[in-house]
Amino acid sequence: MNAAEFNYIESVLWFIIAIGLLVHSFKLGKLDASFKICLIASVAFVAFGVSDIIEAQTGAWWRPFSLLVLKTSCVVTFVLCFIKYKKLSSANKT
């Protein structure tokens, strides 16, 4: 398997995660505090999947520069969503 094929397979994984988060967010309902976090994370995973498709075509995750910016933005969004989710989880336990 070459790198491009791996990127395409990886993009499918990110799309599946995005769908799972989207379904989960709507199961939670709009009034749940985690709804928005799941929705934002879902969009970020779609964007990350698209970035892998672009990477498969360009052959590098840093080229063009806009691809690097997109991937970095997605990772930052994942981290921020995780931190916010953990804070909400901790607040709900008390």
- Domain ranges for the chain: 3-93
The pLDDT value given to residue 7: 97
Kindly report each contact of residues 58-61 with a partner whose C-beta sits within 8 Å and lies 24 or more positions away, as own/partner.
Answer: 59/3, 59/4
The pLDDT value given to residue 92: 82
CA 53 to chain CA centroid, Å, is 14
The pLDDT value given to residue 19: 98
Nearest CA-CA partner of 14 in 61, 53, 60: 53
Which stretches of the chain drop beneath a pLDDT of 70?
94
Is the pTM higher than 0.75? The answer reads yes
The pLDDT value given to residue 60: 94
